[in-house]
Amino acid sequence: MELNDANEKKKKEFSEQFNKLLSEFGYKIQISLDFPEYKVLPEDIKLALLVLNKHKNQFLLDFIEEERKEI
């Protein structure tokens, strides 16, 4: 459990510094869903998005630490 706590503490610290930088530079995060193959979405994609929206989906942002390669 200690590893998880240490990782959560590190993620929290990173998130705080990241948010400070966003604020400092006047940015905010915006997530968009894009389908570059289509100018008009096919009906099945529209239906899928309606179903997802009905169930109040959320987009989540998480920070995953990369494994460091030993030299």
Asked if residue 13 belongs to a domain, the reply is yes
**Can you give the residue range of the structural domain that contains 39?**
2-54
Asked if residue 17 belongs to a domain, the reply is yes
Q: How many domains does the chain have?
A: 1
Asked if residue 46 belongs to a domain, the reply is yes
pTM of the complete model beyond 0.85: no
pLDDT, position 64 = 83
Asked if residue 70 belongs to a domain, the reply is no
Given a cut of 70, whether residue 2 has pLDDT beyond it is: no
Q: What is the overall mean pLDDT for the chain?
A: 88
Q: What is the pLDDT of residues 42-70, one digit of tens each?
A: 999 999 999 999 998 888 888 888 877 77
**CA neighbours closer than 13 Å in the CB half-sphere of residue 1:** 0
Given a cut of 70, whether residue 1 has pLDDT beyond it is: no
Asked if residue 19 belongs to a domain, the reply is yes
Minimal CA–CA distance to 31: which of 1, 68, 62?
A: 62
Asked if residue 38 belongs to a domain, the reply is yes
CB proximity list for 63: less than 8 A, separation 6 or greater: 11, 14, 15
